[in-house]
Amino acid sequence: MKAIIYHGAQLLGLLDLEAPNMSKLFKDHQPSTFLPGVKAIFDDLEWTWDTGTAGISSFEDFKKLVEGIEELDPFSYNFRYPTDTKGKAATNHHTVVNVVDFSRNMDPILELLDYAILDLCTKFDDIAEAKFVLQSIIEQISG
C-alpha cells in the first residue's frame, strides 16, 4: 500500500492534482493508516476494487480485510519479526494462521495492488515523457 501511495503521489503531483499526505509513509507501519491514501488514488484514477474473489469487491471489503490482519498484527511487526530482541514470541503461543486459505484470499488482492503500482509507474512515465516533449517543442518555438 505504501508503494501505491508513493507512486500515486508522484503521478498526481505531475498531473497537478492533490496528492495524499505522505508524512507517515516511511515512519508508520500500521496498514490502516494508508487506507485513505490508497482509496484516494483508486478513486482519482477511477479504478475498481473488484478482485474476482468472493468477498472482496469494494473498498469496504478491502478495508475489512486489512482491519482483520491488524487484529493479528497491529503494527506489521509480528510476521516480519517473530520474536523481539530478547527472544520473546511476537504472537500468542496458540496463534494459528491457515496459510493456504490466507494465500488463496490474498493472492488476487496482492495481484490487484501489484497491477496498481505497475499502472501508476507506466502512467507517470508516459505523462513525464509527454511533458518533456511538449516542453522541448515550446522551447524550440520560442527559442
Domain boundaries, the chain: 2-142
pTM over 0.85: no
CA dihedral of 106, 102, 26, 86, whole degrees rounded to 10: -170
pLDDT band at 20 (very low <50, low <70, confident <90, very high): low
How crowded is residue 20: how many other Cβ atoms within 10 Å of its Cβ? Answer: 20
The DSSP 8-state label assigned to residue 128 in this structure reads H
Predicted pLDDT at 140: 93
- The DSSP secondary-structure symbol of 53 reads B
130-139 tens-digit pLDDT: 999 999 999 9
SS3 56: strand
pLDDT greater at residue 3 or residue 103 = 3
Residues 2-20 have a mean pLDDT of 81
Q: CA-to-CA distance for 31 and 123, rounded, in angstroms?
A: 25
The string of pLDDT tens digits covering residues 72-118 is 887 777 777 778 788 888 777 777 888 888 888 888 888 999 999 99
